[in-house]
Amino acid sequence: MALTTAAAEHVEATWDGIVPVLHEYISIPNVSATFDPLWREHGHMQRAVELIRGWCASRAIDGATVEVHEIPGRTPVIVVDVPAAGGDQADTVLLYGHLDKQPEMHGWRDGLGPWTPVIEGDRLYGRGGADDGYSAFASLAAIEAVRAGGGAHARCFVLIEASEESGSPDLPAHVEALADRIGTPTLVVCLDSGCIDYERMWVTTSLRGMVTVALSVDIVRDGLHSGDVSGMVPSTFRIARRLLDRIEDAATGRVLLRTCDVEIPADRVEQAHATAAEIGAIADHYPFVPGAGPTTADPAEQLLARTWRAALSITGADGLPPVELAGNVLRPNTTLKLSLRIPPTADPAMVEAELVDVLTADPPYGARVTVTGSASGPGWNAPPLAQWLSDALEAASTAAFGRATRLFGEGGSIPFMGMLGERFPGAQFVITGVLGPDANAHGPNEYLHLPTARRITLAIAELLDAHARR
């Protein structure tokens, strides 16, 4: 049963009021704790939490309670508990999002900046609006829309965390502390994923896991004149290159770790080919420099490469001076930040253990090789869709977008989903979001596509109603 037009009208009116609050949220530099260890002293996270908590508390949802759940030494979570309306109070829908942000990143074009909200057409630019500040607003607006449209929903438990961009290290403790209140959800909705286009509702079927470490190579105690010692004393950068060759084929990018070698499920391969046949090559959306291109031109292989195959990125470096200040010195140290995306079904603990062993065994030239700062998070592969949910997704996407939904794997990581999948094996999952291929989450010129945020909100309202009536 589709909701009445009153639901869609409520979404539109509510989003008109949400946009100014998102402007305020974007202006707050509440980067995640990994990037700001003094987050509590700086106060930015508390400002963002209070802004969103205050908006949630201002909503006229009968019986709803709003609170900030605190655990000493950890980032907080916002909890909104909404009683059922025409649905089963004993049943629970868990809606998830996060409010912490990635750091600034260089390269914002003139007139834009990470903490400067700017609307251009349908786009709201600034850090965090799409990843994932909109999620709390969309979740409550969807619940309100169900009620405004004469629909029904089960009890809804909204959980907005503040450590996702750090790998959600604080969330398990909160979930454990809130376990009795959360109960056993039969549906989990996560609004922290992406979409291949803005023409329909995209539902994420899998997420890659992640292992990050800092690889440090030391060869001498001090920097030395390169003319005096080069050729005799090896470069730490070259040693690092040799170590990286142990874990990655430099010619193809294939990750060589045994623990990352998993079989891709047949249904995921089939979905990738079906999506590619309709959408084409998604890499065409990305801003390659003239003459450059992706690792493969095959559209289906592009989808599988970004969702089911391991990939290594070097995301940071220490020990290298800026080019304009670099003298003729053989540097004593090179440290590289390694970000390894792993297949959804790979075990992150086993991958991390193999990664450390391979990098540190028998170091070239007897160099001191250390691996520190390790962090890992599990991937996730969705359980099969129940028939009621498959039908509801088709109806919800058609009602909100005018087109049927599509399933696809996502290359990013949401560690919370793996944890929830283990904790609630009987739940159905809807992972969706507004991050299109050019929305550039984590990078410069990140934006929220406002029409898609509105449509996703209406689609979630339709899903909540279908869940209550299943």
Residue 349 has pLDDT above 90, yes or no: yes
For residue 247, the model assigns a pLDDT of: 98
- Does 318 have pLDDT greater than 60? yes
| 287 pLDDT more than 70 | yes
Q: How large a percentage of the chain has pLDDT more than 90?
A: 93
Give the pLDDT confidence score for residue 135 in this predicted structure: 98
Alpha carbon distance 279, 400 (integer Å) = 20
What is the pLDDT of the chain when averaged over all its residues?
A: 96
DSSP codes joined into one string, 84-121:
-BBS-TTSEEEEEEE--B----S-PPTT-BTTB-EEET
Q: How confident is the model at residue 420 (pLDDT cuts 50, 70, 90)?
A: confident
Residues 6 or more apart whose Cβ sits within 8 Å of residue 175: 159, 182, 419, 423
Half-sphere exposure of 61 (CA within 13 A, CB side): 26
Specify the DSSP element, H or E, that contains 429: strand 428-431
- Please state, in angstroms and rounded to a whole number, the distance separating the CA atoms of residues 363 and 240: 10
Per-residue confidence (pLDDT) for residue 422, from 0 to 100: 87
Q: What residues form DSSP beta bridges with 116?
A: 113
Residues with Cβ within 8 Å of residue 292, at least 6 apart in sequence: none
Q: Is 418's pLDDT higher than 90?
A: no
371 DSSP β-pair partners:
215
Helix (H, G, I), strand (E, B) or coil at 372: strand
pLDDT beyond 60 at 339: yes
Nearest to 100 by CA among 28, 172, 38, 41: 28
pLDDT at 378 over 80: yes
Tokens 């030239």 correspond to what residue? 365
pLDDT at 96 over 60: yes
pLDDT grade for 1, boundaries at 50, 70 and 90? low
In which residue are the tokens 């992150």 written? 348
- Of the chain, the percentage scoring pLDDT greater than 70 comes to 100
- Does residue 2 register a pLDDT over 90? no
Task: Report d(CA 255, CA 229) in Å as an integer.
Answer: 34
Confidence of residue 415 (pLDDT cuts 50, 70, 90): confident
Mean pLDDT confidence for 361-378: 95
The contacts found for 392-398 with CB under 8 angstroms, 24 or more apart, are 392/462, 392/463, 392/466, 392/467, 392/470, 393/201, 393/203, 393/430, 393/463, 395/2, 395/462, 395/466, 396/201, 396/458, 396/459, 396/460, 396/462, 396/463, 396/466, 397/200, 397/201, 397/459
Q: Which domains are delineated in the chain?
A: 5-207+379-469 (3.40.630.10), 209-274+296-377 (3.30.70.360)
Per-position DSSP letters for 202-232, written without gaps between them: EEEEEE-EEEEEEEEEE--SS-EEHHHHBTT
Rounded mean pLDDT, 359-380: 95
306 has pLDDT over 80:
yes
Mean pLDDT over residues 139-151, rounded?
97
For residue range 174-214, what is the model confidence (pLDDT) as tens digits?
A: 999 999 999 999 999 999 999 999 999 999 999 999 999 99
* Sheet strand arrangement including 65-69: 65-69, 77-82, 155-161, 92-98, 187-190, 428-431
pLDDT given at position 285: 87
